[in-house]
Amino acid sequence: MDTPLRNVRTNIVQSIRAFRVSDLQEAAQGLGHHFLYANLAPAQSKQDVLDLIAQQFTFPAHFGKNFDALYDSMTDPLHKSGPQPGFIVVLEQVPANGKFDKEAREQLLDIFRDAADYWGDRKIPFRCFYSFL
């Protein structure tokens, strides 16, 4: 199968660059992977970012809405729920402003890097693509 991901490592967090969201969604479908998408353009703060991710990834209502809870939601419960085929995650338009500064952006991306490592240890593909607003 020809996929836009043929030259992309299986466990990575990287800028979306030349990829189109629709192509990534198609690739996920073709590979049988979960496709998780969050458009974060309306977010102004860390809480906004977490709220939007929880809503758009359809996390349960009891989601803790902090970075630790985000990591937990992206890893262990999914692993315990049964075999996973793989993940393609898109975080589009991550805010870049005073309330969500460079440090907050790096913390957010580190969570997805840690999730990529978690799934990589289990030989399950986890690719996360992001863009900044």
Each residue's pLDDT tens digit, 67-92: 999 999 999 877 788 889 999 999 99
The pTM (predicted TM-score) of the whole model is 0.93
**Residue 59 and residue 73 in contact, taking contact as beta carbons nearer than 8 Å:** yes
**CATH number corresponding to 11-124:** 3.30.370.10
Q: For residue 2, what pLDDT is reported?
A: 56
**Residue 119 and residue 84 in contact, taking contact as beta carbons nearer than 8 Å:** yes
E strands along the chain, which residues?
Answer: 11-15, 34-39, 87-94, 126-132
Which residues, including other chains, have CB under 8 Å from residue 68's CB and lie 6 or more apart? none
> Of the ranges 2-16, 77-91, 94-108, which is most confident?
94-108
DSSP state, residue 50: H
